[in-house]
Amino acid sequence: MTHDESSATLRVADLGEFALIDRLAAVLREEAVPARSAPADELAIGDDAAAWRPTPDRWEILTTDALVENVHFRLSTTTWRELGWKALAENVSDVAAMGGRPRRAFVTLGLPPETPIAGLEELYRGMAHLACEFDLVIAGGDTVAAPVVFLSVTVVGEVEGPGLRRSAGQPGDLLAVTGVLGGSAAGLEILEAGGPGPGDDVGRSLAHCHRNPSPRVRQGLVLNEAGIRCGMDLSDGLLGDAAKLARASGVGATIALASVPMHPCLEERFGPRAAELALTGGEDYELLVAAPADVIGRAEQALRRARLGPLSVVGRLEPGHAGQVRVVDAAGRPIQPSRASWDHFGRSGTRR
Amino acid sequence: MTHDESSATLRVADLGEFALIDRLAAVLREEAVPARSAPADELAIGDDAAAWRPTPDRWEILTTDALVENVHFRLSTTTWRELGWKALAENVSDVAAMGGRPRRAFVTLGLPPETPIAGLEELYRGMAHLACEFDLVIAGGDTVAAPVVFLSVTVVGEVEGPGLRRSAGQPGDLLAVTGVLGGSAAGLEILEAGGPGPGDDVGRSLAHCHRNPSPRVRQGLVLNEAGIRCGMDLSDGLLGDAAKLARASGVGATIALASVPMHPCLEERFGPRAAELALTGGEDYELLVAAPADVIGRAEQALRRARLGPLSVVGRLEPGHAGQVRVVDAAGRPIQPSRASWDHFGRSGTRR
């Protein structure tokens, strides 16, 4: 089948998000757009954020993400304030993923006419609280009528040096993650099952992970300073995101299940499903990095000195099929994971 | 009624777009967000774009706009390629409005699963053609599932010096516009009535104004260089946009109807309605500027030398009620205009 024949009948539902982005990037290449002026060391479509160098010694980064009602959130289970926090947190996390400092946010709102103003004021309060915590300015945006609520957020930041990139991994690099994993996906399950009951402190703690994720900006700055050059944030689950990092770096990866740091409440509540949640649960917004063992060691010490939590080695990059990730048990035997990371188009239903 | 009582029952449909933006900006002030780090000379919510100064001698500008299916466009009357062109053109025009040079575009797409891939490739071709013409890079974005198609586009550019701002007008300044007005609104009417018939060259020319508006980037650069300090682009119609400029500058304005430059095909096709289309028709994307007469004179000569069309004086800024615009006839007598500019929420139906 030629390119043109396949295009004539294909629908978005037939392609995953990443195949779609590849096809659209191909159109730009055909039309020779990026070749005209993008310097070779600029990041474009594909990384957590775009980056460019307005002056020789300064990098600027920009990231943009959209959330759509009944696709990414439901107003029946998410408060407006949480929605504001999360919409901004996702983008701030993309800046953190490059070791950058967020500076300015721009918020475009799609709004049905019946949207309550009080809700939107709460939404802005949620964004304002995150903006205060991470010292960024909400500097503009656009509001438009729409049949469902959507938010399209853009954050501009800056980074010292080139920062962390998905494509900078090398075979032999250790893979490591900040914090603990699986809390957000666990919290989502609890919320979708009706929310934590009275006195359910574990449930409330997990729900909080889902509702108010904290982008790892301070960790990203320390990791960049410590010399880490390869990294991304964990938005779609360790397994899927490690595959993206490995694909961008042109390598494979192995993850040792026993070394994946789980949220401490996971096993108590989810028993044997805890590992699945930690491996494939989305929206933890921890950072995944790859670097030689000595750099990982230095970075781990720097994080501990700054009281910014652990950096846990979870596996390594290896020569081999780009993007292929193997999960192994304590004895090094392969494990078949039960599901891969979310694909925004490949599955129906809500992500959060 | 107190602030809280009114908030509890108000819906988006009860407020216009601008009242809504004012309320949301008030939340940020209450939460002390912008005060924390935005220098006083930064532009934030309210101008055509946000601007900041990463180094003392360099301004960076960012603008973002969203288009929603069945609100801002219909796929039955707009081709995908035109949609791509227009979505990018709107944002590039916001950069032109500040006298800036667009550099990078970021495109977020909301897509129903049944969206044809071939359509999206055409959309990207439309954007690519505009990007080539104005030498900007499409550098990233996001794609998400959504119940209707939407595009949220962000363009980053740069400007020499502080550029043109809505708020920089002074009483006594002349108001002037680039190009001719009303062509886009006339083209929309023709398209909504079934499109130009065979051999209808006038209809086709007007439809082209609506479908492929050309942002006035080169004009904006010349106007900035010539010392114009107050300006904006005409997206919602001369009358409404002049009111926005006057309000931002804290002054009133008078527009002399006889001096408003109309698209040359308007009277032939629309007779007595031509003036209304030129005064209130949206999406011409010409530039509206205000400056003392000598600066306007210099700018007009510079545009002519560069073969970038006319700069027509259409009125002047005056002391008085901020944002109030009077339209006068050739004898200086007030005329009651038949409708004001569009408000994105205040009216139902599509804008284009």
Best interface-test mutation with A: which of B117, B148, B151 has the largest number of A CBs within 10 A?
Answer: B117
- Residue B27 and residue B59 share a domain: no
Q: Kindly state the tokens that stand for B288.
A: 């509206």
Region B17-23: mean pLDDT is 83
Q: Are residues A101 and A224 in the same domain?
A: no
**Same domain for B13 and B57:** no
More confident residue, B142 or A127: A127
Position A119 pLDDT exceeds 60: yes
Indicate yes or no: CB of A49 within 8 angstroms of CB of B13: no
Q: In terms of domains, do A32 and A177 share one?
A: no
| Contact in structure between B172 and B230 (CB atoms under 8 Å) | no
Q: ipTM value, please give it.
A: 0.80
pLDDT at B5 over 50: no
Q: For residue A348, is pLDDT > 50? A: no
| Residue that terminates a domain, selected from B159, B177, B211 | B159
User: B50 and A17: CB-CB below 8 Å?
Assistant: no
CB atoms within 10 A of CB A9: 11
Dihedrals phi, psi of B26, to nearest 5 degrees:
-65, -35
Local confidence band at B55 (pLDDT 50, 70, 90 cut-offs)? confident
Residue A346 within any structural domain of the chain: no
Q: What part of A 24-43 touches B (C-beta under 8 Å)? A: 24, 27-28, 31-34, 36-38, 42-43
Predicted pLDDT at A347: 36
Contacts of A115 in chain B (CB under 8 A): 11-12
Q: What is the mean pLDDT of chain B?
A: 87
Structural domain contains residue B42: no
Output the pLDDT for position B2: 44
Residues A24, A18: Cα–Cα separation, whole Å: 10
In a domain, A56, yes or no: yes
* Whether B192 and B320 share a structural domain: yes
Q: CA-to-CA distance for A255 and A171, rounded, in angstroms? A: 14
Domain of residue A309 covers 166-335
Would you state the pLDDT for residue B27?
87
pLDDT of A34 higher than 80: no
Flag if B158 and A10 touch (Cβ within 8 Å): no
Which residues in chain B have their CB less than 8 angstroms from residue A104's CB? Answer: 50, 52, 62
Residues 276-315 of A with CB under 8 A from B: none
**Which position has the higher pLDDT, B236 or A42?**
B236
Provide the 10 A C-beta neighbour count for residue B76.
Answer: 6
Which are the contacts of A52, defined by CB distance < 8 A and separation ≥ 6? A39, A42, A43, A59, A60, B103, B104, B139
Query: For residue A100, which residues of chain B lie inside 8 Å, CB to CB?
Result: none
Q: Check: CB of residue A80 under 8 Å from CB of residue A203.
A: no
| DSSP assigned state of B157 | E
Please report residues of A whose CB lies closer than 8 A to that of B90.
none
pLDDT exceeds 50 at position B36: no
Q: In terms of domains, do B32 and B103 share one?
A: no
The pLDDT tens digits of the residues spanning B209-248 come to: 999 999 999 999 999 999 999 999 999 999 999 999 999 9
Which residue, A134, A159, A184, sits at the end of a domain? Answer: A159
* CATH number for A175: 3.90.650.10
User: Does B301 lie in the same domain as B201?
Assistant: yes
- In the prediction, which pLDDT does B284 show? 96
Residue A240's nearest CA partner among A351, A331, A141 is: A351
Cβ contacts of residue A37 below 8 Å, gap of 6+?
Answer: B135, B136, B137
Cβ separation of B12 and A120 shorter than 8 Å?
Answer: yes
pLDDT of res. B47: 61
Q: Is position B351 within any domain?
A: no
Which pLDDT band, with edges at 50, 70 and 90, does B28 fall under? confident
Name, of A14-23, A327-336, A340-349, the range with top average pLDDT.
A327-336
- pLDDT of B283-311, one tens digit each? 999 999 999 999 999 999 999 999 999 99
- Å between B343 CA and nearest CA of chain A: 10
* pLDDT recorded at residue A162: 83
Give chain A's radius of gyration (CA, Å): 20
Q: Between these two residues, B331 and B186, which has the higher pLDDT value?
A: B186
Residues A184 and A309 in one domain: yes
Q: Which of B11, B65, B120 shows the shortest C-beta gap to A115?
A: B11
In the numeric block, which tokens belong to residue A236? 């779609």
| Nearest residue of chain B to residue A44 (CA atoms) | B139
* Chain B interface includes A114 (CB < 8 A): yes
**Contact call for B13 and A114, based on CB within 8 A:** yes
With a cut of 70, say whether residue A4 has pLDDT above it. no
Pairing of strands A50-55, B150-159: unpaired
- What is the C-alpha to C-alpha distance for residues A212 and A78, in angstroms, rounded to an integer? 11
The pLDDT, as a whole number, for residue A220 is 98
- Average pLDDT on A327-344 reads 69
* pLDDT of res. A32: 66
pLDDT at A77: 79
The answer to whether the Cβ–Cβ distance between B27 and A137 falls below 8 Å is: no
Residue B352 lies in a domain: no
Number of domains within chain A: 3
How many Cα atoms sit within 13 Å of B342 on the Cβ side? 21
Least confident of A347-351, B8-12, B111-115, B148-152: A347-351
Q: Check if A74 contacts B (Cβ < 8 Å).
A: no
Question: Token pair for residue B57?
Answer: 């001698």
Chain B, 153 to 192: residues with Cβ < 8 Å from chain A are: 154, 156, 158
Q: In this structure, are A75 and A199 located in the same domain?
A: no
Average pLDDT over residues B25-52: 63
Q: Are residues B277 and B135 in the same domain?
A: no
**Does residue A349 belong to any structural domain of this protein?**
no
Q: Is the pLDDT of residue B345 over 80?
A: no
Contact A150, A68 (CB under 8 A): yes
- Helix axis angle for B17-30 and A117-133, nearest 10°, is 40
pLDDT given at position B48: 61
Nearest to B33 among A132, A145, A148 (CB): A132
The pLDDT value recorded for residue A290 is 98
CB distance from B338 to chain A under 8 Å?
Answer: no
Interatomic CA distance for residues A311 and A335, integer angstroms: 24
Look up tokens 């005409």; give the residue. Answer: B234
What's the CA dihedral at A162, A166, A171, A173 to 10 degrees?
70
Measured distance CA(B347)–CA(B352) in Å, rounded: 13
**Chain B positions in Cβ-Cβ contact with residue A11 (cut-off 8 Å):** 113-117
Q: What pairing do the DSSP bridges indicate for beta strands A252-256 and A311-318?
A: antiparallel
Residue where one domain finishes, among candidates B159, B179, B209: B159
Same domain, yes or no: B76 and B149: yes
A258 and chain B in contact, CB less than 8 A? no
B124-128: average pLDDT? 93
Chain B interface includes A58 (CB < 8 A): yes
Residue A84 is assigned to a structural domain of this protein: yes
Res B161: pLDDT: 85
Q: How far apart are CA B290 and CA A237, in angstroms?
A: 53
When pLDDT is cut at 50, 70 and 90, the band that residue B32 belongs to is low
Residue with tokens 């090398």: A170
Residue-wise DSSP of B139-153: EEEEEEE-SS-EEEE
- The whole-number pLDDT of residue A111 equals 95
pLDDT of amino acid B221: 97
In contact, A11 and B114? CB cutoff 8 Å: yes
The verdict on residue A276 lying in a domain is yes
Q: Between B343 and B286, name the one with better pLDDT.
A: B286
Q: What CATH number does the domain containing A92 carry?
A: 3.30.1330.10
Rounded (10°) CA dihedral A54, A55, A57, A59: 0
Work out the average pLDDT over A52-61. 77
CB pair distance less than 8 Å for B42 and A158: no
**pLDDT at res. A18:** 77
B-facing residues of A in 115-144 (CB < 8 A) are: 115-118, 120-121, 124-125, 128-129, 131-132, 135-144
Residue A318 — φ and ψ, nearest 5°?
A: -140, 155
pLDDT at B49 (0 to 100): 67
Higher per-residue pLDDT: B337 or A291: A291
Amino acid at B159: V
pLDDT in tens, A171-192: 999 999 999 999 999 999 999 8
Per residue in B192-213, pLDDT (tens digit) is: 899 999 999 999 999 999 999 9
Q: Which residues in chain A touch residue B45, judged by CB atoms under 8 angstroms apart? A: 138-141
Pick the residue of B15, B23, B33, B62 with the most A CBs within 10 A to test the interface with A by mutation. Answer: B33
Q: Are A118 and B24 in contact (CB under 8 A)?
A: no
In the prediction, which pLDDT does A342 show? 37
**What mean pLDDT is predicted for residues A284-313?**
97
Regarding whether B211 and B116 lie in a shared domain, the answer is no
- B344/A12 Cβ within 8 A: no
CA–CA gap between residue B232 and residue B96 (Å, rounded): 8
- Spatial contact of B156 and B61, defined as CB atoms under 8 Å apart: yes
pLDDT of residue A33: 61
